Every structure is written in C-alpha cells, then in structure tokens.
Amino acid sequence: MNLSADQTVEILRATGEPTRLRILSLLAAEELSVMELSRVLDQSQPRVSRHLKLMADAGLIERFPDGARVYYRLSHDAQARRLTDTVLDILADDEGEADHRRLEEVRSERAADAARYFEQVAPQWDQMRSLYVCETDVEKAVEQAAGPGPFDRVVDLGTGSGRMLTLLGKKAKMSVGLDLSQNMLNIARANVTKAGLDKVELRHGDIFSTRLPAESADLVIVHQVLHYLNDPVAAVSEAARLVAPGGRLLIVDFAPHNFEQLREEHQHRRLGFADEEIADWLEQSGLQAADPIILPPDREGLTVHIWTGIRAAEHVRKIA
Ligand SMILES: C[S@@+](CC[C@H](N)C(=O)[O-])C[C@H]1O[C@@H](n2cnc3c(N)ncnc32)[C@H](O)[C@@H]1O
C-alpha cells in the first residue's frame, strides 16, 4: 500500500540529514547496535540514539532489544525499503566509504576476538557444549527434526568438534563439515574417525561464503553458531541456498535471553533469536518455515529452539 502525504513527508524528513544517511548506508550492510554505530560514526551514543529514534518513529528502520543492548536494522516495510534503496542508490559511490572502512575494522576486531576464542576453547568444546543445556534432549530433538533419512548429503556449517556430523553422519551417504577454526577442524577429524565415519569431508571455510554448490544438500545444519555471527541473516541465506528441493535447513540456537556474561566471556554477539525473526529469514531465503521445536529451559532458564526451513520439492531454481 502506498503512503499518505503526511507519512511520505515524515519519512523524507527522517532521511534528510547527513548522519542519518550515513546510518542508513551502514544498516544496509548489517544490523548494528547503538554502541557499534556510535563507534563507526565517531559520535556519542545519545546523539546517535536521537537520530535512530527519529528514523525508527518514521518507520525507516526497526529497533530490537537484545539483552542489555539495542540493535537496529532496515525496515522490512516495502515502501520504506524502496525509499531507502532509492536514496542509497543515488548517493555517490564514495560517500560513506570511510564509514564502511571503519565498520570493516570493527568487524575484523570482532572476528579476530571470536577466532582467538574458538582456537582456545577447541580442546574443551565437547565438555563446554554440555554445560549450557541438556545435550541428550537437544540431540534427540535434532534427530527428530532432521527426519529419518537416509540423506544424500548433510552439510554442517560451523561444525566445531563435529558433533552434528557424528550424530547424523551414519544416516548420510556423505557429509561435509565446515568451520573457520583449524583447531576445531582437527578435533572434528579425530571425532569422525573415532565414530567410524569415512564419508565425511572437513573443510576450512566461512559460513558467509561456503563455496558449496547451490541446492546440493538434503540436510543443512547450523547448530549453536548463529549467535556468534555479525550478520546472521546473511548466514541463514547462504545456508538456505545449499538446501536441495525437498530438503531442510535446521537452525539450533537460543531463544532470547539476558545472560550478558555470554557476550562478555564467550563471544556471543546476539543473546538468542525470536521465532518470528528466524521464520522471516527462512521465508526471505525461499524456504517454508515449520513450527519451531521448543526444548525445556535449563536450570538457569536458557532455552534452545530448533527452527526448520523446508525447500518445496517442486521448487524451480531461480537463475541469478
Ligand atoms: C559454538 S561452536 C558450535 C560448534 C558445533 N556446531 C556444535 O554445536 O558443537 C561455533 C563454531 O562456529 C565456528 N564459526 C564461527 N564463525 C564462523 C564462520 N564465519 N564460518 C564458519 N564457522 C564459524 C567456530 O569456529 C566454532 O567452531
């Protein structure tokens, strides 16, 4: 539905200021917290917050709390998005270049911290995983969500020590585990060998650009990885791209929570995900979102959900 004159003026006013244009351009790259925006723009948080409030009130951007932080992203509303895309399209290419360079620095620092963390925790990861939630319950539910198989090809993105591969690999003709951490991959290699699985390929790679062929796996898993990532929607889209017609993508992660210490001590970027948020991402990526499986909370109240996206069997592949 098109906007009224008042709404159009409000949205144009909310766009019509240099810092706000810079913010839109940054949010077009990824969702960002007030703290991150303030750092990239080199402006105080209250100042950035004022701009953000104005743009959120006009419907240009969406605000979502995540634990003690507040994140922003571009609005999903089609008209607001059309305006943002048009404005960003007519801006000269070099406008905002310095902002995007600083954003890249912030990203690289974050990625380096996370990489160091995973290299360090790799030897203890199998014990650490079970400290969070009841592994047996989660794994039973993952097997149920995956279906009985057999699978032609299972892809486990952010495989870590390879637990999902050892859980599901026996039902697969072949499986691929991908991870950025060499230490994790070494442990995964030892674990899959111990489990007697020989049709497993372990690859060093990035979830944002897996280099795996489109629609090549009947089961794709992203287990306890999404909350570490700076651009979870891009990771879901890449994971969905791999799903073959009739196949499924399982995302296993936490529901929204307030355990800020996971951010400070364990490199979590997002404190869980809402069901609607993941369902939107799955649908935007061309999959049908099934009802999530909700596991019982642990003693502390941390809850794991399993979200399933299904690619229709009759799907016709879009030519890029
Ligand atoms: C918490 S561990 C989970 C491992 C495994 N899925 C499990 O549940 O045991 C997260 C894993 O994601 C990997 N990871 C983080 N960012 C990644 C990225 N951009 N691409 C690929 N793997 C990544 C880390 O190296 C780590 O092994």
Label residue 315 by pLDDT band (50, 70, 90).
Answer: low
In whole angstroms, what is the distance from residue 188 CA to residue 122 CA?
A: 10
Protein residue whose Cα sits closest to atom 27 of ligand 1: 160
In whole angstroms, what is the distance from residue 269 CA to residue 143 CA?
A: 27
Q: What is the dihedral of CA 248, 251, 255, 260, to 10 degrees?
A: -170
Amino acid letter at 187?
Answer: I
Indicate the pairing of strand 151-157 with strand 69-74: unpaired
Q: Which residues contact 25 (CB under 8 A, 6 or more apart)?
A: 88, 91, 95, 96, 99, 100
**Considering Cα of 51, then 57, then 63, then 68, what sign does the dihedral take?**
positive
184 lines ligand 1 (CB under 6 A): yes
Q: Which residues contact 14 (CB under 8 A, 6 or more apart)?
A: 20, 54, 55, 57, 58, 60
In whole angstroms, what is the distance from residue 46 CA to residue 40 CA?
A: 14
122 φ/ψ angles, rounded to the nearest 5 degrees:
-50, -50
- Centre of ligand 1 to C-alpha 181, Å, is 8
From the list 128, 152, 165, 144, the residue with the least C-alpha distance to 290 is 144
165 lines ligand 1 (CB under 6 A): no
3-class DSSP assignment, residue 223: strand
Alpha-helical runs (H) found in 62-96? 78-90
**Are 150 and 172 in contact, with CB atoms under 8 Å apart?**
yes
Q: Where in the chain is the domain with CATH 3.40.50.150?
A: 124-310
**Which pLDDT score is estimated for 4?**
85
179 lines ligand 1 (CB under 6 A): yes
38 lines ligand 1 (CB under 6 A): no
**Which pLDDT score is estimated for 69?**
87
42 φ/ψ angles, rounded to the nearest 5 degrees:
60, 45
- Cα angle 209, 213, 217 (rounded to 5 degrees) comes to 105
Q: Where in the chain is the domain with CATH 1.10.10.10?
A: 5-95
**Which pLDDT score is estimated for 8?**
86
Tokens (6 digits) for 13: 């006013």
Cβ count within 10 A of residue 76: 10
CA atoms within 13 A on the CB side of 110: 18
CA distances from 17 to 14, 30, 45 (A): 7, 20, 17
From the list 216, 230, 217, 235, the residue with the least C-alpha distance to 278 is 235
CATH number for 5-95 (one of 1.10.10.10, 2.60.40.1180, 2.102.10.10, 3.30.1490.20): it is 1.10.10.10
- Let me know if domain 124-310 sits in CATH 3.40.50.150: yes
Q: What is the pLDDT of residues 186-239, one digit of tens each?
A: 999 999 999 999 899 999 999 999 999 999 999 999 999 999 998 999 999 999
Protein residue whose Cα sits closest to atom 25 of ligand 1: 181
251 vs 29, higher pLDDT: 251
206 lines ligand 1 (CB under 6 A): yes
Label residue 174 by pLDDT band (50, 70, 90).
Answer: very high
Q: From the CA of 206, give the closest atom in ligand 1.
A: 20
191 lines ligand 1 (CB under 6 A): no
Label residue 320 by pLDDT band (50, 70, 90).
Answer: very low
Q: Which residues of 16-36 are buried (b: 16+ CB within 10 A; e: fewer)?
A: eeeebbbbbbbbebbbbbbeb
297 vs 183, higher pLDDT: 183
Q: From the CA of 222, give the closest atom in ligand 1.
A: 6
Amino acid letter at 281?
Answer: W
Q: What is the pLDDT of residues 27-78, one digit of tens each?
A: 999 899 999 999 999 999 999 999 999 999 999 999 998 988 899 999 988 8
